[in-house]
Amino acid sequence: MYIEIIQVVFVLFFSVVLHECAHGWVAYKLGDPTAKLAGRLTLNPIKHIDPFGTIILPVMLKLMGFLPLGWAKPVPVNFLRLRNPKRDMIFVALAGPATNIVLAVVAVQFLKLGVYPLLNEFLLTVIFINLLLAIFNLVPVPPLDGSRIVMGLLPPQIARSYAQIEPFGLLVVIILLNLGLLKFVWKVVILLAILLGVNPNNL
């Protein structure tokens, strides 16, 4: 049990670190050096740890039998410094979930090779955690990545009104979680796993 928890936390930890680095790197390439100047374009985990979101919460959820979700410290992004703020906001937002999907796809390929059978459980954890992170972060509630995509697509006036939800975003997410959001996210994760050729019974 404890080995499984350590494995889940380890995979989640580095998956969210790469997720956040991807946001900062894409923002930097599109004109915003904020994350770079803050020293956040690094894989040094110490720079990205959020004690509650990265360690405490996922361990608590796993011990309680729930899906282990968590987050790293968000990288700072100044959308106004992007070369095309409205368009580039979408690319910056997509970078994190896209990174998680790439990690899942790479793990699937190693799993299919079957070269290291002893690593199968670890690879399944990588697939499960990264698909879960990708889909959950695409939920369009501020400050999740999905909301940035929606803001980039909405007309400016409506986008500004939508952004005003952000101070209450965490509360909205908690309410949605209690209404079964995770069940919906998990169904999407299972569908993606099937499309990738992974037996969902192994997740």
Q: Which of 4, 20, 121, 166 is catalytic?
A: 20
Task: Output the DSSP codes for 28-97.
Answer: HHTT--HHHHTT-SS--GGGT--IIIIIIHHHHHHHTTS-----PPPPP--GGGSSSHHHHHHHHHHHHH
The CA-atom distances, in angstroms, between 68 and each of 72, 182, 201 are 14, 10, 17
Distance CA 14, CA 27 (A): 20
* 20 a catalytic residue: yes
Output 102-106 pairs: Cβ under 8 A, ≥24 positions apart: 103/15, 103/18, 103/130, 104/130, 104/131, 104/134, 104/192, 104/196, 105/196
Structural tokens at position 122: 């670890």
Residues annotated catalytic, as ranges: 20
